[in-house]
Amino acid sequence: MYKLKDVAEILGVSDRTVERYLKSYFSMEKGAYQVSEKMLEVLKSEYLESESNTVVEEFTKEEYQEFHKRLSEYPFLKEHAEFLLKHLEYYRKSMSSKERQMELLLLAITNKKFIEE
């Protein structure tokens, strides 16, 4: 919380200017607060944003149909992705094995040339 004087110093204006600005947001009348439209929007954005992480977004009919189509395809695509990952791992191991075989062949050829010379 800031005092009126602190806010005025931060903004580089007079205390009176800050006071007038605050009065544009709310006022006291007969012991009750009256809140301006600007203040209501500030309160809504602060309160509603912090209280809810839910985002509501409307779909057009076409967007909803596309979403529904993709949603129904998800299990198949997930299964296909898992299948591809298994095959990728298999080919990775296969290539590693072939690299090792090539290294052994090159070593054998090098040793044979060394023995012949």
Q: Compute the mean pLDDT over every residue in the chain, rounded to the nearest whole number.
A: 86
Whole-model pTM? 0.35
What does each C-alpha distance from 57 to 54, 64, 72 come to in angstroms?
Answer: 10, 11, 20
Q: Which of 33-42, 72-81, 85-94 has the lowest mean pLDDT?
A: 33-42
Region 23-38: what's the mean pLDDT?
A: 84
Q: What DSSP assignment string belongs to 48-87?
A: HHHH------PPPHHHHHHHHHHHHHHHHHHHHHHHHHHH
